Structure 1
Amino acid sequence: MTKSLYKLSNRNLKNILTAVIVYLFSAPAYAQTESRNWNGKKCAVVLTYDDALNIHLDKVIPMLDSYQFKGTFYLIGSSPVVSERIPEWRAAAKTGHELGNHTLNHPCNGNLPGREFVTSETDLSKYTVARAVKETRITNSLLKAIDGKTERTFAYPCGDFTTNDTLYYNYLKNDFAAARGVSPGYLSMKGVDFSNVNSFFQNGSTAEQMIAQVEEAEKKSSFIVFLFHGVGGEHPLNIDLEEHRKLLEYLKKRKKDIWVATMVDVAKYIRENQNK
């Protein structure tokens, strides 16, 4: 009886020692694979909103504030929603939201399919490079008059990059921290192209779909930029306000692992850390 108990206790001891050894060797390996390169978190999320809509001031910014998140709002300089609501945009900027540059007149290439909304005055294919650059800088002057800031990011209207086969942003690189494009992609910090930062366009998306995109960014230790227009209406490209709220709710619950910040702050962070 004593002998069998002795054998049993020896076997248990060996099992315990094996478990301890496995833990000691596997725990450091796990810690090394868990990347927290994004301001101490696993990934970064940037929430961007295009075209300076009333709904952004009336619904989106209050909702973001309620979750203590800051967004990037790409304003069209000539929009009446800008000129008629300057005090509200100024107040949003003071609380940490970014006012980004979406040009003066939102020019798009009218020669492409589905561009019936483009007028002769807003047809990028008829612009000179000098005009595209000048109007963008005029918008920067307007935005500085609103928020007093000199650092901000740019967003290509309609995702169109060129006029007369020239990438006009080449002449604006020193004016911005980065330019947001419209092509999706999860990139490493070292792979970011500041002239065309990837983004995930949202139209009719559910919270479940958007959360899955965030989780993919986390899995890849990357970052994700969301591109919104209407949120609860006011634009043909739209997501439901409640789906937007559910996304924010998820991000709030995951705040220990997910860094939510403006485009300008994430762009500056990448620049400072991508060569480390």
Structure 2
Amino acid sequence: MKNIILLAGLLSICSLTASAQSPQLWNNKQCAVVLTYDDAIDVDLDNVIPALDSMKLKGTFYLIGSSPVVDKRMPEWRLAAKHGHELGNHALYHPCDGSLPGRSFVSPDHDLSKYTVSRAVSEVRLNNTLLKAIDGKTERTFAYPCGDLSIGGVLFYDQLKKDFAGARGVSPGMQTAANVKLDNIRCYGINGQSAEYMINLVKQAQQSHTLLVFLFHGVGGGHSLNVDLQAHSKLLHYLKNNQKTIWVAPMVDVAKIIAAQQASKTAIPKNIMKN
């Protein structure tokens, strides 16, 4: 009898593993692709959103609250949210750890290494208040400025987990929903890569039934980290032409379905683990 119970438990585990990798998870499609755009710059509104809207694709735009582009073009951001794009939180001042190599661009006032955890948390929450005033929404995701996770060895996002559906990092990788860490979602930063490179990433995600997140800054200019406008357009056309098998959605929607899937995983009964 014990052997039968053990076998049933192993079959259950296999079933859960298969379910975690099932293409049915991603809104009944092979994979999920999230298009994210950082820093709230003019090209987001001038180049990206018109391109996405023309194909009825939705993206996530991580806004820095202090950006003059947020202030001067607020009605356009509000319209973008109304059209289904996510306005994500990229902190109020985009603080980065200036103590790290290659960080000469970090200003002393917004050097994360000189922040307290409470200051960082307060500024992120203040940015949430601003974003809610723009789009009226209470659910969104966060993106770590410069990918910096900690202050003095303390993971500041630990105090923000209840404020967001998830947080995007900067490390590359594709993962099944079961393996995604919602406090540091992996992504592929794009800076000069070709359309073929980006489309090949999508094809890999389709084959492996995984989550693929793109991280863009400039699109057709506007930032030192940039992707060619035509290359970006080719990627969007591939996604549109394969929408029957690819789920393209804002990060908040994908994070919520991942959280639900992870929460639904059934724990292995203790008696199964007994010999």
Aligned counterpart, 1:95: 83
Aligned counterpart, 1:252: 240
Separation of aligned partners in 2, 1:77 and 1:163: 21
Aligned amino acid, residue 215 of structure 1? K
> Does 2:181 align with 1:193?
yes
Aligned counterpart, 1:114: 102
Aligned amino acid, residue 203 of structure 1? N
Separation of aligned partners in 2, 1:137 and 1:81: 20
Aligned counterpart, 1:22: none
1:81 to 49, 69, 75: 69
Separation of aligned partners in 2, 1:196 and 1:159: 9
Aligned amino acid, residue 207 of structure 2? K
Shift of 1:34: 7.4
> Does 2:224 align with 1:236?
yes
> Does 2:4 align with 1:42?
no
Shift of 1:119: 0.7
Shift of 1:102: 0.1
Q: For 2:24, what is the secondary structure of its paired residue?
A: coil
Separation of aligned partners in 2, 1:76 and 1:215: 32
**Deviations for 1:220-269, whole angstroms, at most 9, x for unmatched residues?**
11010000000000100000011000000001110110000000000011
Aligned amino acid, residue 93 of structure 1? A
Task: Give the ranges of 4+ consecutive aligned residues of structure 1 lying more than 2 Å apart after TM superposition.
Answer: 33-37, 273-276
Aligned amino acid, residue 86 of structure 1? M
Separation of aligned partners in 1, 2:22 and 2:163: 36
Shift of 1:209: 0.1
Separation of aligned partners in 1, 2:132 and 2:83: 15
**Deviations for 1:71-98, whole angstroms, at most 9, x for unmatched residues?**
0000000010001111000000001000
Equivalences, count: 244
Aligned counterpart, 2:211: 223
Separation of aligned partners in 2, 1:125 and 1:213: 34
Separation of aligned partners in 1, 2:152 and 2:116: 7
Separation of aligned partners in 2, 1:193 and 1:184: 13
Aligned counterpart, 1:213: 201
> Does 2:153 align with 1:168?
no
Q: For 1:74, what is the secondary structure of its paired residue?
A: strand
**Deviations for 1:141-179, whole angstroms, at most 9, x for unmatched residues?**
000000000000000000000111111000000000000
Aligned amino acid, residue 112 of structure 1? L
> Does 2:56 align with 1:63?
no
1:4-15 equivalences under 5 Å are none
Decide whether aligned partners of structure 1 residues 34 and 172 sit closer, same or farther in structure 2, where only a CA change above 3 A counts: closer
Aligned counterpart, 2:122: 134
Aligned counterpart, 1:268: 256
Q: TM-score, normalised by structure 2?
A: 0.87
Separation of aligned partners in 2, 1:171 and 1:159: 17
Shift of 1:37: 2.2
Separation of aligned partners in 2, 1:92 and 1:34: 32
Aligned amino acid, residue 60 of structure 1? V
How many percent identity over aligned positions?
62
> Does 2:194 align with 1:181?
no
List gaps (5 residues or longer) in structure 1: 1-32
Aligned amino acid, residue 139 of structure 1? N
1:204 to 178, 192, 202: 192
Q: For 1:36, what is the secondary structure of its paired residue?
A: helix
> Does 2:29 align with 1:54?
no
